[in-house]
Structure 1
Amino acid sequence: MSALLEVRGLNVVFSGFHAITDLDFTLQAGELRFLIGPNGAGKTTLIDVITGLTRPASGSVQFAGEELVGKREYRIVRAGVGRTFQTSVVFDELSVLDNLDLAAGFRRRMTGLLRRRHGISDDVASALDTIGLGDLADRPAGVLSHGQRQWLEIGMLVVQRPRLLLLDEPVAGMSRDERDRTGELMQSVAKDHTVLVVEHDMAFLRRFASTVTVLHEGRLLCEGTVAEVQADPRVQEVYLGRKERV
């Protein structure tokens, strides 16, 4: 595998507060990586920097050899970076199919978006199958369960053909069955994409993660396999407390 994302010397400061300090982070092409840490560790801030929502005080974010710092958000999307948010962003009044078709059309000209759709594109059909919502294709997104809305949002990213997917707490608020289905979906998506997952659910982490990066107070604390992170006393102390285990 080769490096797809390289973060070097990243510093983010908000009104004197150092949210990220001298962070170096590398993500290899084809990885499914989990990013964990206590509240305020800098996880979402890192994703915000990668996607252009936050501009760092200093440092570099290279994606496929291209510098992302200073680029507009839409240019980062077009470069191949997609993201979900902690609260799903779908169009409730549109059908599941129309949400996917609208997302798939982001590369089209505006006139293409305004034309009536004739049939289902291969990308949309594949995404429907991947997220398991084929039976609900014609239902409005507003009737979906919380988990189904998250799957739809992941599908809306997949049809845009990103090289990197950033998933911010994708299983927050889900039932156990929904969490398991989401983990299986992430593993399926990771066969064709690089995926970085910010997550707090440790049972979910143990089941679905292979490589983990731990942040603490805006710095990289450790990274490695789940077993290596579980065995690191620093993680047990700063993330879970001495009496708890990852």
Structure 2
Amino acid sequence: MSGALLEVRGLSVVFDGFRALDGVDLTVEQGELRFLIGPNGAGKTTLVDVITGLTRPASGSVRFEGADLVGRKEHEIVRSGVGRTFQTSVVFEELTVVENLDLAASFRRPLWSLARRRRGVSEAVAAAMETTGLDLLADRPAGVLSHGQRQWLEIGMLIAQRPRLLLLDEPVAGMSAEERLRTGELLTEIARDHTVVVIEHDMDFLRRYASQVTVLHEGKVLVEGSVDQVRADPRVQEVYLGRAEERSTGAAAATAGEVK
């Protein structure tokens, strides 16, 4: 696949005089796995909020498949083929895995049909369970899943809606090393059939799985490019990578002090 799926131009967001986004331009091609990084307060989540209709910009445009999303309601944007996750997973704990997925897949059905008992598992739900590796947990309540499994379930709920663009906000936050590895494999698999934009802070995860990276800083696009290009950019090292390394070094020193 080729061609721009998402085009953001001149996007600005102002909160009480503070410019959370300041003239952001962003193009995401079809079939791309794009990582969006930057220090806290850079505007990453605000950008996703605008794309999904949660926040209205002061100026600029957001075009998805050529149609402007600005001014459209959240549910309309979802129906157009844009799905997102949040930093905190949102699943129905009392429902089973398959029931959560079925509910997500039913968003296009008329309200009256939701009261009818479903017979069997739909193709979309079955595919989501297989892709996320949750098929063996289909009848388990979501409330008893591990943190990583809950995140995979939420990603599966997006897949079941069959979006063309997935926006994932820090999908590996709080995960174990094994869960991060599985999530990276999952994102790579999903990107074969979808366009995926990932907000992330885990630099090891970024180095392992990212191809194209956009760095935001103070509401503006600082640099874009491959992982190697971004890591080598002195501006990125100054405002982001350097800070991350300082935190890691500080944490290591503190741990060493405790061992002594």
TM superposition score normalised by structure 2: 0.93
Task: Give 1 or 2: higher helix fraction.
Answer: 2
Query: Are 1:102 and 2:122 matched, yes or no?
Result: no
Q: Which amino acid aligns with 2:70?
A: V
Partner of 1:21: 22
Separation (CA, whole Å) in 2 of partners of 1:134 and 1:160: 17
Separation (CA, whole Å) in 2 of partners of 1:88 and 1:241: 29
Query: Are 1:211 and 2:212 matched, yes or no?
Result: yes
Detail structure 1 runs of 4+ shifted over 3 Å in the superposition: 242-245
* Structure of larger gyration radius: 2
Partner of 2:236: 235
1:243 positional shift: 9.5
Q: Which amino acid aligns with 2:94?
A: E
Equivalence map 1:9-48=2 (5 Å): 9-48=10-49
Percent of residue pairs bearing the same amino acid type: 73
1:114 positional shift: 1.0
1:112 positional shift: 1.7
Partner of 2:156: 155
Partner of 2:64: 63
Gaps of 5+ in 1: none
Partner of 2:184: 183
1:140 positional shift: 0.3
CA offsets 1:30-74 (integer angstroms, 9 cap, x no match): 100000000000000000000000000000000000000000000
CA offsets 1:58-93 (integer angstroms, 9 cap, x no match): 000000000000000000000100000000000000
Partner of 1:133: 134
CA offsets 1:6-39 (integer angstroms, 9 cap, x no match): 0001110000000000111100011000000000
Separation (CA, whole Å) in 1 of partners of 2:244 and 2:136: 46
Separation (CA, whole Å) in 2 of partners of 1:226 and 1:59: 28
Per the alignment, in what secondary structure is the counterpart of residue 151 of structure 1?
A: helix
CA change 1:242–1:174 in 2 (3 A) is closer
1:240 positional shift: 2.5
1:106 positional shift: 0.3
Q: How many residues align?
A: 245
Question: Does the 8 Å CA contact 1:236/1:244 hold for their aligned counterparts?
Answer: no
Per the alignment, in what secondary structure is the counterpart of residue 82 of structure 1?
A: strand
Query: Are 1:145 and 2:118 matched, yes or no?
Result: no
CA offsets 1:167-194 (integer angstroms, 9 cap, x no match): 0000000000000101111111111100
Partner of 1:90: 91
Partner of 2:167: 166
Separation (CA, whole Å) in 2 of partners of 1:161 and 1:14: 33
CA change 1:92–1:235 in 2 (3 A) is same
CA change 1:204–1:101 in 2 (3 A) is same
1:241 positional shift: 2.5
CA offsets 1:79-132 (integer angstroms, 9 cap, x no match): 100000000000000000000000000000112211111011111111110000
Q: Which amino acid aligns with 1:41?
A: A
